[in-house]
């Protein structure tokens, strides 16, 4: 087999498989699939966003993390007198949430530069070939599936904010419906120019010039210097032993990698495989692990600002620090009273993930996001920018307070798991702070409970929020009731939901087969060659 891919939509997975079929490797597949996702999964991701990828090559044991998340803008510029920064309220049903959009919500984007750099460093096929599937969709339009169309409807106040956005998302006077074709004017020409010019097109070419001109004219903060000097970081993974496996996680700017590593170190103290899956005892332990991680995050947030990254990571993951929380968990379980959970602010889960393994043993785990989008289109480009500066959870000290050039932290956590140097699992997820709980449970389901990959990904999940364990439909009602009688706050969901993430995963099974599993909460799709 030449390889397998799992992604957030059929068109995305098919594009990756096409590159494998044409002789490309896992990086070629991931890059081509990502560019297609910016059209086919337009409800959750856009070209103007950012991402993080992890690559692992089983032939030489090398791992590298490509961090192309967003920087704060404003290098060499003077803030305008009036910022284009407008609040929009989204109704999620049980609650509402405010987001900010406009030119001043746009952080320095990394998707184009990061994906082009990965392709140049590790791919086999030319960029023009990798962009062919996306260019086809841009020319012909894409028929939106139910998940993507429903997400667009949910975010209608953002996706109908300007005339140009309405031309894309509501061309017939109503928000695009499942089965209708969505077309983005000018995007095909933009992608064709990108194929010819490469990453410089987004640094100082026509696209960069159009972005900056629009920003300067309309109250934005992005400058030519921001785009020209943006750096894709190549970093070493955080490597954590877990049982007989080794888990490779991205370092900061991914806060998620550090926090999942902490959770795994806690979980390794317990023989969780002896707990019946989904039992009250199992749910109690998950609650306490998640609660302890929220308490520990207070230290991480402070240390990551006060000391060098390597020192902060080392201190946070030290046995001495982790053991303190293990003792707290044991006490909470022994006395039968839930431990304290610190609240975490979350945004809507507008993120997408894809995972690839090729037949030569090269793996890619790639997560991208654009926030909810900035609510406008850069004129005559089809380019929809991000709104990373308009998400409160990314800016706990207030909007526009970080210095220009500083990388914004993210919860995205593309992950690779090894066994004896061989790839066992490639996983990641969308879903804001639920990324951590989704990945943790998929890891435990596969590595501890020895589930098959599709079961590990699509089994019901839980997530701790504000001291209440959110229990997705599918958990045993008696176990949840027993946990509640023990004094734990629970909220029973009557359905599956994107709230619990989208952990599209691929695996090298113990029998040597390459397998893939799409998360059915988020329109997951798989393809193999």
d(CA 31, CA 26) in angstroms, rounded, equals 9
Q: What is the pLDDT of residue 399?
A: 87
Confidence of residue 89 (pLDDT cuts 50, 70, 90): confident
Percent of the chain with pLDDT over 90: 84
Euclidean distance between CA atoms 456 and 10, whole angstroms: 21
pLDDT for 348 equals 47
Q: What pLDDT band is residue 166 in, cutting at 50, 70 and 90?
A: very high
More confident residue, 47 or 510: 47
Distance (Å, whole) CA 76 – CA 64: 31
Q: Residue 94: which pLDDT band, with cuts at 50, 70 and 90?
A: low
Q: For residues 431 and 130, is the Cβ–Cβ distance under 8 A?
A: no
Residue 490 lies in a domain: yes
Is the model's pLDDT at 21 over the cut of 90? yes
372 located within any domain: no
Q: At what angle do helices 477-485 and 280-306 cross, to 10 degrees?
A: 70
What band does 435 get if pLDDT is binned at 50, 70 and 90? very high
One of 190, 294, 347, 351 is an active-site residue; which one? 351
What pLDDT does residue 201 have? 98
Contacts of residue 162, Cβ cutoff 8 Å, sequence gap at least 6: 375, 376, 377
What is residue 90's predicted lDDT score, i.e. its pLDDT? 76
pLDDT at 214: 97
Q: What value does the mean pLDDT take over residues 373-381?
A: 96
- Please determine, for residue 305, whether its predicted confidence score (pLDDT) is greater than 50: yes
**Catalytic residue flag (residue 351):** yes
What's the pLDDT at 342? 84
**Which pairs count as long-range contacts for 260-263, CB under 8 Å and 24+ apart, including other chains?**
260/413, 260/415, 260/436, 260/439, 260/440, 261/317, 262/293, 262/296, 262/300, 262/316, 262/317, 262/322, 263/289, 263/290, 263/293, 263/436, 263/440
DSSP secondary structure of 181-243: EE--TTHHHHHHHHHHHTTHHHHTSHHHHHHHHHHHHTT----HHHHHH---EEEPPEEEEET
Structural domain includes residue 138? no
β-strands 238-242, 245-249 pairing: antiparallel
What is the Cα–Cα distance from 361 to 370, expressed in whole angstroms? 30
pLDDT at 318 over 70: yes
Does the pLDDT value for residue 423 go beyond 60?
yes
User: In whole angstroms, what is the distance from residue 354 CA to residue 365 CA?
Assistant: 6
Residue 231, pLDDT score: 98
- Neighbouring CB atoms inside 10 A of 495's CB total 9
Residue 150 lies in a domain: no
pLDDT at position 96: 64
Q: What is the mean pLDDT of the chain?
A: 94
Q: Residue 503: exposed, middle, or buried by beta-carbon count in 10 A (0-12, 13-18, 19+)?
A: buried
Query: Parallel, antiparallel, or unpaired: how do β-strands 468-471 and 489-492 relate?
Result: parallel
pLDDT of residue 93: 64
* Bridge partner residues of 53 (DSSP): 66, 366
Task: Say if 478 falls within a structural domain.
Answer: yes
Q: Is residue 35 part of a domain?
A: no
What gap in Å lies between CA 64 and CA 237, rounded to an integer?
6
pTM exceeding 0.85 = yes
Does 248 reside within a domain? yes
Percent of residues, the chain, with pLDDT higher than 70: 98
- The parent domain of residue 258 ranges over 235-347+413-511+519-528
What per-residue confidence (pLDDT) applies to 251? Answer: 98
Identify the residue with better confidence: 156 or 449: 449
- Tens-digit pLDDT profile for residues 98-154: 789 999 999 999 999 999 999 999 999 999 999 999 999 999 999 999 999 998 998
Residue 95 has pLDDT above 60, yes or no: no
What's the structural domain count of the chain?
1
Average pLDDT over residues 317-331: 97
Identify the CATH number of the domain in which residue 271 sits: 3.60.20.40
Q: Are 8 and 352 in contact (CB under 8 A)?
A: yes
The answer to whether residue 89 sits within a structural domain is no
- What are residue 108's DSSP bridge partners? 71
């Amino acid at each position: 087999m030449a390889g397998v891919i799992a992604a957030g939509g059929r068109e995305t997975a098919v594009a990756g498989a096409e590159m494998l079929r044409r002789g490309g490797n896992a990086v070629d597949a991931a890059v081509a699939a990502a560019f297609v996702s910016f059209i086919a999964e337009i409800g959750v991701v856009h070209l103007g966003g950012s991402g993080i990828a992890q690559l692992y090559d089983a032939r030489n044991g090398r791992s590298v993390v490509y961090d192309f998340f967003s920087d704060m803008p404003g290098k060499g510029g003077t803030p305008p007198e009036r910022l284009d920064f407008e609040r929009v309220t989204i109704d999620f049903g049980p609650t509402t949430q405010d987001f900010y959009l406009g030119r001043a919500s746009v952080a320095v984007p990394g998707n184009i530069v990061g994906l082009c750099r990965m392709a140049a460093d590790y791919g086999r096929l030319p960029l023009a070939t990798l962009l062919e599937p996306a260019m086809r969709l841009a020319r012909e339009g894409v028929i939106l599936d139910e998940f993507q169309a429903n997400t667009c409807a949910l975010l209608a106040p953002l996706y109908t904010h300007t005339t140009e956005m309405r031309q894309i998302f509501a061309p017939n006077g109503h928000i695009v419906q499942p089965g209708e074709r969505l077309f983005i004017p000018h995007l095909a020409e933009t992608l064709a120019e990108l194929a010819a010019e490469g990453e410089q097109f987004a640094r100082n070419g026509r696209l960069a010039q159009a972005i900056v001109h629009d920003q300067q004219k309309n109250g934005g903060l992005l400058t030519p210097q921001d785009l020209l000097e943006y750096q894709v970081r190549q970093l070493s993974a955080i490597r954590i032993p877990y049982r007989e496996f080794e888990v490779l996680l991205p370092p900061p700017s991914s806060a998620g990698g550090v926090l999942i590593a902490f959770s795994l170190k806690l979980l390794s103290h317990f023989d969780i495989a002896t707990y019946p899956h989904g039992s009250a005892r199992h749910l109690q332990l998950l609650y306490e692990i998640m609660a302890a991680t929220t308490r520990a995050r207070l230290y991480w947030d402070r240390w990551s600002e006060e000391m060098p990254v390597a020192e902060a990571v080392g201190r946070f993951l030290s046995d001495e620090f982790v053991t303190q929380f293990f003792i707290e968990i044991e006490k909470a379980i022994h006395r039968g009273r839930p431990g304290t959970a610190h609240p975490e602010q979350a945004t809507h889960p507008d993120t997408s993930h894809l995972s690839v393994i090729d037949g030569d043993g090269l793996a890619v785990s790639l997560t991208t996001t654009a926030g909810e989008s900035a609510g406008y289109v850069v004129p005559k480009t089809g380019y929809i920018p991000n709104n990373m500066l308009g998400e409160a959870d990314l800016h706990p000290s207030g909007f526009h307070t970080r210095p220009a050039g500083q990388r914004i932290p993210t919860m995205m956590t593309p992950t690779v798991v090894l066994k004896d140097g061989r790839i066992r699992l490639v996983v990641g997820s969308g879903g804001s702070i639920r990324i951590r709980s989704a990945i943790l449970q998929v890891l435990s389901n596969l590595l501890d409970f020895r589930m098959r990959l599709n079961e590990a990904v699509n089994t019901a999940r839980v997530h701790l929020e504000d001291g209440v364990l959110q229990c997705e439909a599918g958990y045993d009602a008696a176990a949840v009731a027993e946990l509640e009688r023990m004094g734990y706050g629970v909220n029973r969901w009557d359905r599956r939901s994107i709230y619990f993430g989208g952990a599209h995963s691929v695996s090298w099974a113990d029998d040597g087969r390459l397998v893939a599993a799409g998360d059915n909460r988020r329109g997951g799709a798989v393809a193999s060659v």
